[in-house]
Structure 1
Amino acid sequence: MGAWGYKPFDNDTAADFAGDLDDAPQSERIEMLRAALAAVADDVSSHVDGGGAEIAIAAAALTVQKVDGGEEFQSEVCGPSGELPEIPKDLVFLALTAVSRLLLKDNDLWDDWSRGGDGEEWLAMLQRLKLVLGKKSAASQESLW
């Protein structure tokens, strides 16, 4: 695990994903986030590998980038430096689903972080991210009515 901290972009995989987002045309960035989140949220039949989980957490953090409380999950150093298009409402729900799945413990990151170090901080960060995603998702649902 090439991690140096418990926050969404404090690992090599997420930092590389941020670089890939910056290198991609603006028109492809939302679909890159969607693919990262769907890889975790949609495949409930198997154990989630660490790299996929790290990218999904980074993608989830980006869906709340401009939301009250979402600033905690951003990185000025390793996060993407390019602008993201407006985040579609369904992407926030997909992010919430992915993070909720990771909290079920069937993934390599849970296994790695539960062995010590900053494991409690990592878990608390993931729970806070779920809370912010839940608030954003609920607000998005209310605006539909």
Structure 2
Amino acid sequence: MDLSQGSSGFVGFAGRVEVLEGPTGRRRWPDDVKARIVLESFDSGASVNEVARRHRISPQQLTGWRRAARQGRLALPLEDDSPGFVPVVVEDADAPAAEPASGATAEQASVIEIEMADLVLRLPAQSPPERIAAVVAALRLSA
């Protein structure tokens, strides 16, 4: 069909047609799906653009999720699906309790210590397990 002279007097087309594939608009991503995509983007040789294109998200969105993971706001799963155990040191119950440092209360002195290379991170013992897991995941990424 000749577009220069249609039956309705249409004289050519000077616009642009864009075909959208896949879902459009706002989507809600579960944290476990975000974490899996972020973990995939951290693989050696992976490109943020390529991973984002494969999952049909924008590179900016993936970059935001990566930032959230680094800041401990998005917990990443363990890469090998095995539980992450670390050595635990338990002090003898009969040993005298250590004095809290510099006038701190016993509650303030109760901490969880995470040692990694030359870094020692101390978290309050009453920290939620999810937060501790997020911190450990973020530390693993930075190593």
Normalising by the smaller structure, the TM-score range is: under 0.3
**RCO higher in structure (CA 8 A, sep ≥6):** 1
Which one has a bigger Cα radius of gyration?
2
Point out the structure with the larger helix share: 1
**TM-score (normalizing by structure 1):** 0.25
**TM-score (normalizing by structure 2):** 0.25
